[in-house]
Amino acid sequence: MRPKGIPNKRTKEICDLIDQSRLGPAEALLAILNLDYKALGRDSATRTRWTSAGIEYEEEVISLESQLDAAKQLMKYRYSQKQAVEVSTGEAGIKIIVEDYSKK
């Protein structure tokens, strides 16, 4: 089991891509979002991998999951986060008055 605080495989791969590209975090997120694999230091959109049985296959450099994560991270810079609002009713509770103004 991976110790707490140690990045998982996907996070490490993304950090390695950022280090190789010499981009800042925001630029790297934009590159991931826009499928700009060249900005991330890759020559092509796929890379060759092998299974444990030795079978070769192609894997996307930038997965859809990575794109979605990048979009989520960038959203907070474009749109402000809404704060939770706490409602306190106190001892008396809430009194709701409903009036029909359509007949006046």
Q: Does 65 or 23 have the greater pLDDT score?
A: 65
In the numeric block, the tokens 């190789």 are attached to: 20
Rounded average pLDDT over 57-61:
85
pTM higher than 0.85: no
pLDDT for position 33: 79
Cβ atoms of 28 and 17 within 8 Å: the answer is: yes
Give residue limits of the domains in the chain: 9-78
Token duo for residue 45: 């959109």
Lowest pLDDT segment from 35-44, 46-55, 76-85 = 76-85
Taking 90 as the threshold, does the pLDDT of residue 24 lie above it?
Answer: no
**Is the model's pLDDT at 104 over the cut of 70?**
no
Cβ within 8 Å of residue 58, ≥6 positions away: 46, 47, 48, 49
